[in-house]
Structure 1
Amino acid sequence: MARNIQSLERAAAVLRLLAGGDRRLGLSDIASTLGLAKGTAHGILRTLQQEGFVEQDPVSGRYQLGAELLRLGNSYLDVHELRARALPWTDDLARASGESVHLGVLHHQGVLIVHHVFRPDDSRQVLEIGAMQPLHSTALGKVLCAVDPVAHAEAAEGDRKALTPATVTEAAEFEQILELTRARGWGSDVEETWDGIASVAAPVRDRRGMPVGAVGVTGAVERLCPGGELRPDLVAAVRDCARAVARDLGAGRF
């Protein structure tokens, strides 16, 4: 059985203590409350301070939670708010399109699937929540790269592997695709990630106009591209879904 790491347990205890109080705490208060030696408590606080999780008041010397911890917490809340706001609209999109719907966010140089609505038929399907998709080849990933500078940089610096014969790996061509995606407001993937599979996606923005994710439909090429081109009604439905979620997040009408 794996053993817990004592230093991490103590750091977590310090953060919980600071989160539970209504005032800043001094080194002696923290050490005595948690039953730690002052030297040990000071070392933990110093490390947390260097990482931005704890701040020290320069006048009183007391400690409080830092901005980095707040940023991480907001990120967690943003993802969960995004998913909660998207639930009814992604259900509607799946029913209207007859295809599976994915909601993804940027995570560790890839696209993390945070919500997945099954294709509304009786076929056997696998839930993909928590799965990672590549940035450079998927519709979700290309949309994020087109509108999010961080995603763009990660895809540009990363290894754009050829996943199928249709995958774009060359830098100049990849940038052209992102320019087109940015200009038209949606991205596509026609057998660039999986043989026989196509997808179309659009970005979701928050109340500040910042990209917070992307939503898209995925299905067999013969259904999404019956004449060799993506069905315009699917593109319109995906964009309408993205706009609806954005409005529920507080974005203005656009």
Structure 2
Amino acid sequence: MPGPIQSLTRAAAVLRLLAGGERRLGLSEVAASLGLAKGTAHGILRTLQQEGFVEQDTVSGKYQLGAELLRLGNSYLDVHELRARALVWADDLARASGESVYIGVLHHKGVLIVHHVFRPDDSRQVLEVGAMHPLHSTALGKVLSAFDPVAHNEAMDVERTAFTHRTVVEADAFEKVLEDTRSRGWASDMEETWEGLASVAAPIHDRRRMPVGAVGLTGAVERVCEEGEVRSRLVASVRDAARSISRDLGSSPF
């Protein structure tokens, strides 16, 4: 197994050093604290500065953490805030529907499951937190692709795999699915990803009315669907959960 990359280890040490101090640090202080040559420390600081992770005070020449690191940190916190705000509503949705409930966010051209509530029965189930689901075939993925421009571009740019004979992979047909999703405010997956399973999902918005995730439920087709359509009560329940989570994140009523 390959060992750690020294330059990355040193860069991480520099960031930790700057994060742990109550004041800006000069080049000599950084080098001395980490046991590095001044030239090495300067090279690391210059690279981190170019990437926005470190800023240099123009008067003193000393260094502090940069805005880009803060932006990444806020992104991490946003996901955890979403999960924290969704906990109660996801539990309520699972209890009311009798099905498994998922919260997903866009990540690396897929849907990252950040929260999963088991179906409230005694069946054997596997926790899927941390799992990646496809954008183009799942209800969660379709919702993200329909409402998030970044997710839309990623879903259109990748090769869309046909997981079952029902999976929509052709570009124009998939675009029509997304148009329908935007029009009605929710998406479904009826055996498009897994045989025998159906899903319904709706978007979650933040205080800026930006789509930050999706909430959905999944269950056996015969329970989720009726006469080839998702049961209206389940659609209503999912949309209510999405609105409640969005409201808790500061989104205005919609």
- Normalising by structure 1, we get a TM-score of 0.97
C-alpha separation in 1, matches of 2:173 and 2:252: 33
C-alpha separation in 2, matches of 1:153 and 1:169: 15
Question: What are the superposed Cα offsets for residues 26-46 of structure 1, whole Å, 9 maximum, x if unpaired?
Answer: 211211122211001011112
* Paired position in structure 2 for 1:93: 93
C-alpha separation in 1, matches of 2:66 and 2:173: 43
The one-letter amino acid paired with 2:25 is L
> What secondary structure is seen at the aligned counterpart in 2 of 1:216?
strand
> What secondary structure is seen at the aligned counterpart in 1 of 2:166?
coil
C-alpha separation in 2, matches of 1:2 and 1:147: 40
C-alpha separation in 2, matches of 1:21 and 1:251: 36
Question: What are the superposed Cα offsets for residues 90-149 of structure 1, whole Å, 9 maximum, x if unpaired?
Answer: 000001000000000000000000000000111111111110000001000000011101
* Paired position in structure 1 for 2:243: 243
> What secondary structure is seen at the aligned counterpart in 1 of 2:229?
coil
Using the TM superposition, give the Cα deviation of residue 192 of structure 1 relative to its aligned residue in structure 2, in angstroms.
0.7
> What secondary structure is seen at the aligned counterpart in 2 of 1:124?
coil
* Paired position in structure 1 for 2:119: 119
Using the TM superposition, give the Cα deviation of residue 251 of structure 1 relative to its aligned residue in structure 2, in angstroms.
1.3
Using the TM superposition, give the Cα deviation of residue 198 of structure 1 relative to its aligned residue in structure 2, in angstroms.
0.6
C-alpha separation in 2, matches of 1:163 and 1:88: 32
C-alpha separation in 2, matches of 1:215 and 1:26: 47
Please list, as runs of the form range in 1=range in 2, the aligned pairs for 1:16-165 lying within 5 A after superposition.
16-165=16-165
C-alpha separation in 1, matches of 2:253 and 2:83: 20
Using the TM superposition, give the Cα deviation of residue 60 of structure 1 relative to its aligned residue in structure 2, in angstroms.
3.0
Percent of pairs with identical residues:
77
C-alpha separation in 2, matches of 1:4 and 1:164: 41
C-alpha separation in 2, matches of 1:84 and 1:126: 21
C-alpha separation in 1, matches of 2:123 and 2:13: 48
Using the TM superposition, give the Cα deviation of residue 9 of structure 1 relative to its aligned residue in structure 2, in angstroms.
2.0
* Paired position in structure 1 for 2:226: 226
Count of residue correspondences: 254
The one-letter amino acid paired with 2:179 is E
Using the TM superposition, give the Cα deviation of residue 25 of structure 1 relative to its aligned residue in structure 2, in angstroms.
1.8
Extract unaligned runs of 5+ from structure 1: none
C-alpha separation in 1, matches of 2:52 and 2:134: 30
Q: Does 1:7 align with 2:7?
A: yes
Question: What are the superposed Cα offsets for residues 205-250 of structure 1, whole Å, 9 maximum, x if unpaired?
Answer: 1111111100000011111112211100000000000111111111
Q: Does 1:173 align with 2:173?
A: yes
> What secondary structure is seen at the aligned counterpart in 2 of 1:129?
coil
Extract unaligned runs of 5+ from structure 2: none
Using the TM superposition, give the Cα deviation of residue 24 of structure 1 relative to its aligned residue in structure 2, in angstroms.
2.2
C-alpha separation in 2, matches of 1:154 and 1:68: 23
The one-letter amino acid paired with 2:202 is A
C-alpha separation in 2, matches of 1:41 and 1:167: 53
